Amino acid sequence: MKYFRLMKLSLCARIAVIGILALVYVSAGYSQDIPANAVPHLETIPAGSLIIPMDDTLQNDGGSGNSRRFNLKAYGLIQELLWNNIPVKWAISSTKVKDGGDLTAIAKIDGTAGAGASTKFSGGPFIIPQGYEAIARQVITAFKALKPVNDNSDTKASLIKVYVTTADTPGVDIRYTIVHKPQIGIGQNTGTTSGVHQKLYDFSMIKHYANIDNTTINASSCYTIATQPHFDSPNFISNFNQFLASGGNVLLQCLSITTFENTATGHFQTTNGWTGYANGNITPATLNYDAATMPYSQFIGGIPTDITAAVADYDLVGVSNGGTHNNFFPVVRNNAVTNHPTSYIASQAVIPSANTAGGAVFELGGHDYFISGTSAGNASNEQYNAQRMILNALFVPVTRPAACGLAVPTLGAYKSVQLKADGDVNHNGLVNLGDQLTWTIVYVNSSLVDYPNFQIADPLDTTKISFVPGSMTVVATNGAVASANLAYTGTGANTNLLAAGASLPHDTGSGPGLIVIRFKTTVTATTGQIVNQTTASGTNVAASQASSDTLDNLTATLQSIQGGVTPPSDGGLIPQPQQTNSVNPTVAFILSPTAAEASISGRVLSSTGLTVARALVTVLDPVTQTTKTGYTNISGAFAISGLEVGKLYSVSVTHPNFTFTNSAQSFVVNDNVSGLVFVADAPPSRKPVNPPAALSTQRVR
């Protein structure tokens, strides 16, 4: 969950508030895949771990010399593992140069004898997390016996190499622990499917894709990535904007690049669009590979520069009129003196949004890298490398609706806080000095592995709350083993909630292992914000899965997906903003029992800064579902009063002539709130899309 608290603001402070909110959203959206933000995430890979190599030396199709190529079936295996509910780690060094190593481990080919040897892995190897080895071996064995759906003579899946480490490997840079099941929607080619991406996916034994009508792409689409190989109509760009904003990823290739970029509602990577060049003719020595640490560019060697295509490479339109890059990062760049010296063959953007993953737009020049009369099996390794970029994009993390069922089950952790009647000293429903809060922590194991040596740490903010001795209860069900740590105080060395020897097993038939902990704290401060979050540890527990999330008041469908965890039903639940796309601490505000009512005021503006009159402003109490409304005056100002202090409210704006994509703001009202500003989306450009230089420079999301 994401949580924003708006303090009492003067009208002059509104610009600062907008800047803060924009920074939060940009940081969240950009955190997933930018070279400058590739902060090392170092882990120790224990002995016995399985590694799937992704370089031509260790993972090839069995050829020799110039006929040896990377074995693209390795990507099919990764998808198969994820669809069998096995998470996968993607090891990419954040400091490597092009074709540099990602890790070196003492390892051997799995199933062979010997102690192993020092082995260098590059090209972005994938690692099976500890505890999944036995299950993964079953999937690997079954997959290696398969053949592509359209070629019964292709047995290269049997050549896939999997290594096993024979010693611990510290300091491995893990870019992602992938926990989504790649489901691909292949877009149309001028009304029909082109076969370009289908051919690649079939050859690589990527099973989970569908040929789609572009009208089906939207915020609720159950695809993790929409790939658009060759499309000439801008009619569906708004659909793709919705998909990106909701956390999906998009890959545009060939003509799709200029179709989407040279339309004002597109402009994913530019402000004015691209000039596309047909039939690339670039000297290989002049290519720059600028993004060695980005997942999109994980391949060894180069890509072709003479591919036949409607758009083989591309560069900026309207530089003299201010055309610039937008959310842009070059991946493969031309550095020639002639022949399009400033053009790109591959690039990427990440669209800012509230999601912690997704919103990536990958672009790749060239139409079909299995072209020129050659079959996929006879293409060059350079052609394979270009195809690897498409396959890499499938595994970059996304955010999709939980109801789609595209998440790999893992360890779930949820926390809620209550001000129950017996703990409300002043009987006013507000958190005050001396009140007792009840905290409920739930850990549920929906994965396929056990978590022995399980522990949960919960340090308390002792400037605001103190633990009530004797108040802790621990309930372990479905095979889980746990009891309370009697020495727990929430401070110093005594922050572990459980006694030693706890375990959290996976579902063996009776349901997922479940541990529920409840305890009380006394409020010791007169004002302030209490922020609390637990962290789990133990064998097989990944750091990325260990922190508790504020429990959303989820629908029954979502509760079922997330291990059946529901909010406590014994009263006094303190509501939290409903954001299901990120992991956030649980929050409670300490209030002085003074003013009973407060007001919210602010202004509504157009995208150009003009005031918007007659906009409807709605203030919703998400607990009672009651609303208060008001309209803006001729100055765009509004004021809504009579709001109960200490409650969570959501404020939104509508207008028949304007759209507000990110209109809703949620916060707890502790006092009068002024200076809120809502800005309408920019209207679609009415200028012609040709020539590209004449396009509007206004970015629309």
Residue type, 626: T
Domain boundaries for CATH 2.60.40.10 within the chain = 1-30+596-701
As beta bridge partners, residue 441 has: 415, 517
- Give residue-wise pLDDT tens across range 407-441: 888 888 888 999 999 999 888 888 999 999 999 99
Q: 29: part of which helix (H) or strand (E)?
A: helix 14-30
Report whether 332 contacts 297 (CB < 8 A).
yes
Closest to 184 measured CA to CA, from 251, 90, 253, 259: 251
Q: DSSP secondary structure string, 277-337? A: ESS----GGGEEE--TTSGGG--SS---S----S-SEEEES-GGGT--BSSEEEEEEE--S
Residue 326 C-alpha from the chain's centroid: 20
The answer to whether 105 and 43 have CB atoms below 8 angstroms apart is: no
Q: Quick one: pLDDT at residue 671?
A: 81
Q: Which residues pair with 451 in a beta bridge?
A: 504
Using alpha carbons, list the distances in angstroms from residue 659 to 200, 239, 242, 680: 40, 15, 14, 6
Helical segments of 341-496, H only: 381-393
Greatest CA separation found in the chain?
Answer: 81
Per CATH, the architecture of 1-30+596-701 is what?
Sandwich (2.60)
Residue 142 token pair: 């079954």
DSSP 134: H
List pLDDT tens digits, range 527-538: 888 999 999 999
> Out of 1.25.50.10, 3.40.309.10, 1.10.150.20, 3.40.50.880, which CATH number does the structure's domain 184-402 have?
3.40.50.880
**Is residue 467 a contact partner of residue 436, using CB atoms and an 8 Å limit?**
no
Strands, E assignment, 214-273: 225-228, 249-253
pLDDT at residue 411, rounded to an integer: 87
Query: Residue 350 has what pLDDT?
Result: 86
Q: Evaluate if pTM is beyond 0.85.
A: no
pLDDT at 319: 56
On the question of a cis peptide bond just before residue 170, with omega within 30 degrees of 0, the verdict is no
Domain spanning 409-590, CATH architecture:
Sandwich (2.60)
Burial 457-493 (b: 16+ CB within 10 A, else e): bbbbbeebbbbeeeebebebebbbbbebbeebebeee
Q: Which two tokens stand for residue 63?
A: 């050829």
SS3 of the chain: helix, strand, coil, percent, to 5: 20, 30, 50
Q: Mean pLDDT for each 10-residue chunk of the chain (701 residues)?
A: 28 26 25 58 91 96 81 97 94 94 97 96 95 93 94 92 96 91 87 76 94 88 92 86 91 91 87 83 75 93 83 76 70 75 86 78 89 62 92 93 84 90 87 94 90 95 96 96 97 96 90 94 92 91 77 55 71 72 79 72 89 91 87 90 86 89 80 88 52 33 30
pLDDT at 352: 74
* Distance, CA of 674 to CA of 302 (rounded, Å): 56
**CA torsion, points 261, 263, 267, 272, in degrees to nearest 10?**
90
